[in-house]
Amino acid sequence: DSDIKAAQVAQQLLEYWWQDFGLDDKLEDALLWGIIAGQGYWKITWDAQASKAMRFTLGPDGKPITDDKLQDLFRANLQQFGVQPQEKVVYLGDIRVDSISPFDVFVDPNAKTVKDAHYVMCVHHMTPDEVKSRWNKNVPADSISTVPDTSLPMQNASDARKPDTVRVIFGYFKPSPIMPNGRYVVWTKHEVLEDTKWPYPFNELPLIKFPGMKIPGQIYD
């Protein structure tokens, strides 16, 4: 009985995630890339700024009080002295699934499959404000978010747009004999935003490939 209930809970959780992350549309997007360009990709990572925002009361040490009873007691004590409690909005983070264009994914060319690849680099276009909120760095816009019916940014184009996004590259390098600690590095054409060792508890790239017509011995279809 316990195994059956556990399976039911797991199934319900999967269905909840599928709906909450909008995976129907992302699956269709990746499959269409696989048909049109030979490969589609999902990148599955942890986003510290995702999920719902939660508001916490700050304790005397300046840290959020997570115990509800302790929080009510602390607020009651402050009200006796006519002091308003300080609050802080915290994002608990959540799983993030991105459907990425194959033109923005660069896989280890020496590998024959994605699972065999030692590294992958993924390009994301972010606003300067998002870069500021995630890495606390002011990076100027250097690329243009693509929309239909927009001229290429040529100097002689009357409706040429100014750069409005930052081209951010995420590099994932698995632990290997050459690089025992692995590497996770995020950079732009201007500077390195983050550079740490492999951040995951598993030795696998956070990338899923939706294949097209496979070419024997080649990673690209």
Each of the 221 residues of the chain gets a pLDDT tens digit; together they read: 999 999 999 999 999 999 999 999 999 999 999 999 999 999 999 988 877 778 888 888 878 887 888 888 888 888 887 878 888 887 778 899 999 999 999 999 988 888 889 999 999 999 999 999 999 999 999 888 765 455 555 656 666 678 889 999 999 999 999 899 999 999 999 999 999 999 999 999 999 999 888 888 788 88
Task: Give the C-alpha distances (Å, rounded to integers) separating 157 from 98, 120, 127, 162.
Answer: 33, 35, 23, 11
Check residue 156 and give its pLDDT: 62
Q: Tell me, what amino acid is at 137?
A: K
Decide: 91 and 48 in contact? Cβ < 8 Å.
Answer: yes
Task: Give the C-alpha distances (Å, rounded to integers) separating 93 from 47, 54, 63, 197, 200.
Answer: 5, 11, 18, 20, 15
| CA distance linking residue 42 with residue 39, whole number of Å | 10
Which pTM does this prediction carry? Answer: 0.78
How many Cβ atoms from other residues are within 10 Å of residue 41's Cβ? 23
